[in-house]
């Protein structure tokens, strides 16, 4: 009986089963008949895609001729299963059922983690879920934490001291060139792990935070808002953009609207589970109501107001961003403008029309009015009343 060893390998970003055996013409003849089999010069082995069907067919075809050692492959699958459980959306099966199935996301860097750091990652995600963090926050924090674990290799993350973390923060800002905002995000993830998971209270008191740039929001004028919307022919796209601007909604809020969230009797829109796990009510625009009714009659949405391509799913935030980009391209807007600029514009235009800042705070769902006050810095109502010293000097000279 010929010995055959099966190992997981990544070839050209594809997850495969590497087939290793001593030179044997009869065995090689069988291996070469496997579906989608290829030779890897780099790994010096034959390989097939990592699928349940391929694995079973291989075992069947070499039975009676070879003894198969799948220890390495099973260890890999077990590790991958642990890693899959730390993802916001995990695949239940360690195998793809067949070659035509959608590819399973494989976090190669995470699979190569040590046993101690894999356990740390699992505990980290478990605590985030227990504290009911949103899937987007879990995804962000996981990515930030993974950057550190990947760098540590075999060193357990639990052994790091405050001094080690200070060196790490200097490294990511000076050597890796992370921005102040990215460094804050990385620090928030690490703070959560050491204080919330490991229970090391005030562990980060000695770790200074980099000062963040205070960027002003990108605001689009009322004229440009309407100019962009008038170009939109697709009724669904136009309704989506108008609804977002008319109520100052985040992209995540507008795409997750349900038909039942629109209350035309009270002229209100209910935003459930908005950012910060806070429900709030915003105004339904009177001028938008006829368009909404036209949209409803044409598309007949059942649950989600803006349904996606897949049954039972809402439109994705990426699709919404693309709709915005297509509507507002070639209008001379700054490249930093995004779907969120509609929300910034809504708040600024309300302030310029005389709406009290405290009402704007409630409509936007801000916990702290300081967050809302940033719109006063970009409002034409305030800035436009200030005369430049140059204009005053020229006026005095009669120029």
Q: Which sequence positions are flagged as catalytic?
A: 250, 275, 340, 343, 366, 375
| Cβ neighbours for 141, distance < 8 A, ≥ 6 positions apart | 124, 128, 133, 188, 189, 192
d(CA 229, CA 236): 12
CB 71, CB 47: distance < 8 Å = no
Q: State both tokens at 398.
A: 């009669």
CB 210, CB 326: distance < 8 Å = no
Q: Can you give the C-alpha Rg of the chain in angstroms?
A: 28
Task: State the DSSP H helix or E strand holding residue 291, giving kind and residue range, or none if neither.
Answer: helix 289-299
d(CA 228, CA 214): 28
Torsion angle of alpha carbons 338, 340, 341, 344, nearest 10°? -170
d(CA 139, CA 86): 9
Q: Which residue pairs, CB below 8 angstroms and at least 24 apart, start in 181-189?
A: 181/212, 181/213, 183/209, 183/210, 184/209, 184/210, 184/212, 185/140, 185/144, 186/144, 186/147, 186/148, 188/141, 188/144, 189/140, 189/141, 189/142, 189/144, 189/145
d(CA 277, CA 157): 31
Give the closest residue to 15 by CA, choosing from 92, 80, 68.
80
d(CA 155, CA 120): 12
């Amino acid at each position: 009986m010929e010995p055959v060893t099966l190992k997981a390998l990544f070839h050209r970003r594809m997850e495969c089963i590497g087939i290793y055996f001593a030179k044997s013409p009869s065995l090689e003849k069988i291996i070469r008949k496997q579906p989608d089999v290829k030779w890897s010069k780099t790994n010096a082995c034959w390989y097939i895609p990592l699928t349940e069907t391929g694995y079973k067919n291989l075992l069947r075809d070499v039975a009676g001729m070879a003894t198969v050692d799948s220890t390495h492959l099973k260890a890999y699958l077990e590790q991958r299963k642990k890693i899959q459980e730390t993802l916001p959306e995990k695949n239940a099966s360690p195998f793809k059922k067949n070659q035509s199935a959608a590819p399973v996301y494989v976090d190669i860097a995470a699979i190569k983690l040590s046993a101690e750091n894999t356990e740390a990652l699992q505990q980290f995600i478990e605590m985030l879920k227990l504290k009911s963090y949103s899937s987007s926050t879990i995804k962000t924090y996981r990515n930030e934490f993974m950057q550190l674990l990947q760098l540590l290799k075999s060193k357990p993350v639990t052994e790091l001291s405050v001094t080690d973390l200070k060196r790490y923060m200097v490294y990511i800002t000076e050597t890796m060139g992370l921005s102040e905002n990215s460094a804050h995000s990385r620090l928030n993830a690490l703070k959560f792990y050491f204080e919330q998971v490991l229970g090391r209270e005030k562990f980060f008191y000695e770790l200074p935070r980099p000062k963040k740039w205070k960027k002003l929001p990108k605001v689009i004028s009322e004229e440009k808002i309407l100019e962009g919307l008038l170009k939109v022919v697709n009724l669904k796209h136009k309704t989506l953009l108008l609804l977002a601007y008319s109520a100052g909604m985040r992209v995540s809020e507008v795409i997750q609207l349900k038909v039942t969230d629109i209350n035309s009797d009270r002229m209100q829109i209910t935003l459930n589970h908005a950012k910060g796990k806070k429900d709030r009510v915003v105004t339904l625009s009177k001028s938008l109501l006829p368009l909404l009714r036209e949209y409803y009659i044409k598309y007949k949405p059942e649950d989600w107001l803006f349904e996606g391509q897949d049954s039972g799913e809402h439109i994705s935030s990426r699709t919404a961003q693309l709709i915005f980009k297509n509507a507002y391209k070639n209008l001379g807007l700054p490249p930093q403008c995004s779907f969120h600029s509609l929300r910034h514009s809504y708040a600024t235009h309300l302030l310029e029309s005389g709406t009290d800042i405290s009402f704007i705070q409630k409509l936007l769902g801000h916990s702290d009015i300081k967050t809302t006050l940033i719109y006063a810095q970009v409002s034409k109502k305030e800035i436009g009343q200030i005369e430049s010293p140059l204009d005053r000097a020229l006026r005095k000279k009669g120029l």
